[in-house]
Structure 1
Amino acid sequence: MTADKILSPKQLPAMLAAWRAAGEKVVFTNGCFDLLHLGHVDYLEKARALGDRLVVGLNTDASVSALKPGRPLQDETSRARILAALAFVDAVVLFGDDTPLRLIEAVQPDVLVKGDDYTIDGIVGHETVLKKGGQVLTVPLVKGYSTSALVAKARQL
């Protein structure tokens, strides 16, 4: 079941240990993923292609609201289940901090990835990952797709 891919911070270490024992490379990314669209799907698929397992850090409702007034449009449980339904997402972990740094430190990913609207030194957690010999990468985003654009378009209808 897709809900089984939604892990608590306490469940995460055992899953990571099993993957690493199998020699699998762990990729991490994070975001709000409020209204899942083609840009998100393309981004997450590209992120997963950089390793064997993809862990997605998902902002809680409270942290989304702090970042984006008037949002989220979908609650965290809905957003987590939708992400978990994607075949190339192996785990979803909610985080409520201002940044995903504590989660990245817990995951210790082999690859930390964000979209190409970030610079490597602007990616939270890059020091942690580089220090342990991991990679910090950006992937190209599909132009013209964003939750903000979808919300604006819906308001025009």
Structure 2
Amino acid sequence: MTADKILTLEQLPATLAAWRAAGERIVFTNGCFDLLHLGHVDYLEKAHALGDRLVVGLNTDASVSALKPGRPLQDETARARIMAALAFVDAVVLFGEATPLQLIEVVQPDVLVKGDDYPIDGIVGHELVLNRGGQVLTVPLVAGYSTSRLVEKARQL
């Protein structure tokens, strides 16, 4: 079941240890993923292709609201289940902090990835990952797709 891919911070280390024991490369990314769209799917698929397992840090409702007033449009339970339903997402972990740094410290990813709208030195956790020999990469985003754009389009209908 997709809900089995939604892990707590306490469950995560055992899962990561099993993947590492199997020699699998762990990729981490994070976001709000409020209304899933083509840009998200393309981005997450490309992120997964950088390793063997993709862990997605998902902002809680409270942290989304702090970043984006009036959001989220879907609650964290719905967003987590939708993320977990994607074949190329191996684990979803909610985080409520302003940044995913604490979660990145637990995951210790081999690859930290964000969209190419971020400079490498602007990606939270980049120093931690680079200092332990990992990679910090960006992937190209699909132009014209964003949740904000979808919300604006819906308001015009």
TM-superposed deviation, 1:71 = 0.1
Q: Summarize deviations over 1:65-111 as a string: whole Å, max 9, x none.
A: 00000000000000000000000000000000000000000000000
Q: Give me the identity figure in percent.
A: 87
In the alignment, structure 2 segments of 5+ residues that lack a partner are none
TM-score norm. by structure 1 comes to 1.00
Tell me what 2:15 maps to: 15
In the alignment, structure 1 segments of 5+ residues that lack a partner are none
TM-superposed deviation, 1:42 = 0.1
Tell me what 1:92 maps to: 92
Tell me what 2:31 maps to: 31
Q: Following the alignment from structure 1 to structure 2, what is the Cα–Cα distance between the partners of residues 93 and 44?
A: 15
Q: Following the alignment from structure 2 to structure 1, what is the Cα–Cα distance between the partners of residues 103 and 153?
A: 34
TM-superposed deviation, 1:124 = 0.1
Tell me what 1:47 maps to: 47
Structure 2 residue identity aligned to 1:71: R
Tell me what 1:123 maps to: 123
Structure 1 residue identity aligned to 2:33: F
1:151 aligns with 2:151: yes
SS in 2 for 1:4: helix
CA RMSD of the aligned region, Å? 0.2
Tell me what 1:132 maps to: 132
TM-superposed deviation, 1:16 = 0.1
Which contiguous aligned blocks of 4+ residues in structure 1 show a shift greater than 4 angstroms?
none
SS in 2 for 1:141: coil
Residues matched between the structures, number: 157
Tell me what 1:141 maps to: 141
